[in-house]
Each structure stands twice: as structure tokens, then as C-alpha cells.
Amino acid sequence: MPLDFRRRYENYIEIWDPIVYALWALRLTTLKAIKRDGIAALTSFPKLLAEGFALWYRTLNTHFVRFENTTALPTLVGSAEGIVLELGPGLGNQLPRLNQDKVEHIYGIESNEFFIPELRDKVVECGLVDKYTVLAAGVEDTNVLEKSGVDYETVDTILSVQVLCSVNDPEAVAKDLYKVLKPGDYTGLWNRTWSCLIGGCNMNRDILSILRGAGEWEGFGTLDGDEEPWSVLPRAWGTLVKPIKRFS
């Protein structure tokens, strides 16, 4: 394979720009928290990270939306149907991409409290008040899902956009998600890794292997991606279908 030094260089420096913004956001958030609560604010570092991540994402969000519009993501999200479980909706970027005629109801489970107000505003803006339920919890919180009616084989579509890289126990989460998905229905996957400063993601997590271990799937051969041997931030996208068990 011929060496493409320019592409390699671009891949290697790609991560540094968002990290610089992340450090800026964390610094600004920390200074504001100390001014508000004094030095005691430093005892809640996870909360500072969550608030800093929300500021980082909000600051760069127009760039994210513009880039995503050039990818397969709008088509992937637009194919969602029935009862939809959206993992980590953030600011609600995917809401305008949903086909409301095909969607019965969406449950958006978001663990970052600093995204929730803007997410609710986006739900109103997109006319989804009667179709969208915001769950302020982590993907790992299966009790919250069950209390909301998201239980064994009740979901038609799971949308996972850059989320599985950040959960604490991805193998367990993937198995729980597999259980709530109806046979014959699918998971829409778009995943990219980031650093611990940017959403708590892990850069060395093999998401596809984790999904393989969750249960039987159809569609692995149709997944696409942009991974190269030198990729720092590889992506994978497409749909995986939970097969219908047929008894003879």
C-alpha cells in the first residue's frame, strides 16, 4: 500500500484541535465554579467535566452539524422507525433528521444534566413534544428505562451516535440494549472515539467486537467505516439487525 504522508499527517493532528477546545472549556468551567462555590467546587470533578463537555460541544456544535450533513448519518437517522431509543441525544442534533411519519415515540436517555434544558427546547422546536420523552439518566440505568416502558423486546430502533465509547461497562450495556430490541429490528450505529476530556470516551475501545459479544446480529458485513492503519479517530456506521428466531 503506498504511503500517503499528507493523510497520515492530517489524521495525527486531527485530535489536537478538539483537545485544545476541551482544555479551554474545562478551564473556563472550573474558574466559574470556583467563583460561584469556592474551592469546594473542585471536590466534584466529574460534574466539572460534564459541564465542560457541554460547553465544548455547544461551542463546536455548528461544525459538527455541518460535517454530519456530508456523511451517511442523516440517512441513517432518517430510517429510524417505530419505538426509538436514542442514546445520548446531547443537544438534540438528530431530531430534525428523524422521519416523524415513521416514528411512533422516541426515548432519549441523556446522562449529562447540562444538555437537558437545550434538548427539551429542541424537542419543542422540532414539534416532537408528544413523541419524545427525555430520560435524565445514563444508558446503564436499566431501571429508568424499565419504568418508562422500555423493557424486554419493546424497541424497534436504537440510535447510537458516539455513545458506546463512553459508558463504564460497554459489554454489559450492549447486552442490555440487545435485550430491549425487538427481533427483526435494528440498531443504527455511528461511533467515533474521543479522549477522556471530551465526553469521557475511550480511544482504544473496539465497539464492533463489543456489539458482536452482545448477541446474534445480521448486517456486520454491510457496516462501513473510515478506519485506516494510522487512524486516530476511526468511525464505523451502519445498521445491525437482531435476527428473528425461526423454529421448524
166-198 per-position pLDDT tens digit? 788 888 989 999 999 998 755 656 554 343 334
- What pLDDT sits at residue 144? 92
Mark whether 54 and 95 lie in a shared domain: no
Distance, CA of 53 to CA of 160 (rounded, Å): 18
Global confidence as pTM: 0.84
Mark whether 53 and 87 lie in a shared domain: no
The answer to whether 88 and 28 have CB atoms below 8 angstroms apart is: no
- For residue 32, being part of any structural domain is answered with yes
- For residue 212, being part of any structural domain is answered with yes
Q: In total, how many domains does the chain have?
A: 2
- For residue 138, being part of any structural domain is answered with yes
In the listed set 27, 48, 68, which residue is the last one of a domain according to the structure?
Answer: 68
In single-letter form, the type of residue at position 104 comes to: E
In the listed set 33, 49, 68, which residue is the last one of a domain according to the structure?
Answer: 68
End-to-end Cα separation, the chain, in angstroms: 48
- For residue 95, being part of any structural domain is answered with yes
Distance, CA of 136 to CA of 196 (rounded, Å): 21
Q: How many CA atoms lie within 13 A of 60 on its CB side?
A: 17
- What pLDDT sits at residue 66? 93
Mark whether 99 and 213 lie in a shared domain: yes
The answer to whether 170 and 214 have CB atoms below 8 angstroms apart is: no
Where on the phi/psi map is residue 168: left (φ > 0), alpha (ψ -120 to 50), or beta? alpha
- What pLDDT sits at residue 192? 46
Q: What residues make up the domain containing 90?
A: 77-241
Confidence of residue 105 (pLDDT cuts 50, 70, 90): very high
Distance, CA of 125 to CA of 121 (rounded, Å): 6
Q: Dump pLDDT digits (tens) for 18-61.
A: 778 788 888 999 999 899 888 888 888 888 989 999 999 999 89
Least confident stretch, 10-14, 60-64, 143-147: 10-14
- For residue 181, being part of any structural domain is answered with yes
Find cell 424497541 and name the residue.
155
- For residue 186, being part of any structural domain is answered with yes
The answer to whether 84 and 103 have CB atoms below 8 angstroms apart is: yes
Helices 45-68, 16-37: inter-axial angle, 10-degree rounding: 140
Percent of the chain with pLDDT over 70: 80
Kindly tell me if the per-residue pLDDT of 127 is higher than 50. Answer: yes
- For residue 248, being part of any structural domain is answered with no
| Over residues 81-96, mean pLDDT | 95
Least confident stretch, 98-112, 189-203, 227-241: 189-203
- What pLDDT sits at residue 198? 43
Mark whether 26 and 121 lie in a shared domain: no
Mark whether 171 and 213 lie in a shared domain: yes
Q: How many residues comprise the chain? A: 248
Kindly tell me if the per-residue pLDDT of 102 is higher than 50. Answer: yes
In single-letter form, the type of residue at position 95 comes to: L
CATH number at residue 123: 3.40.50.150
Q: Dump pLDDT digits (tens) for 197-230.
A: 344 565 567 778 888 888 888 888 888 776 665 5
In the listed set 41, 68, 95, which residue is the last one of a domain according to the structure?
Answer: 68
Mark whether 89 and 144 lie in a shared domain: yes
Kindly tell me if the per-residue pLDDT of 159 is higher than 50. Answer: yes
- What pLDDT sits at residue 103? 95
Q: What is the mean pLDDT of the chain?
A: 83
- For residue 52, being part of any structural domain is answered with yes
Mark whether 31 and 96 lie in a shared domain: no
The answer to whether 157 and 185 have CB atoms below 8 angstroms apart is: yes
- What pLDDT sits at residue 43? 85
DSSP summary character for residue 96: G
Mark whether 104 and 190 lie in a shared domain: yes
Which position has the higher pLDDT, 12 or 171?
Answer: 171
The helix (run of H) or strand (run of E) holding residue 58 is: helix 45-68
Mark whether 84 and 54 lie in a shared domain: no
Mark whether 103 and 225 lie in a shared domain: yes
Mark whether 115 and 18 lie in a shared domain: no
Mark whether 108 and 218 lie in a shared domain: yes
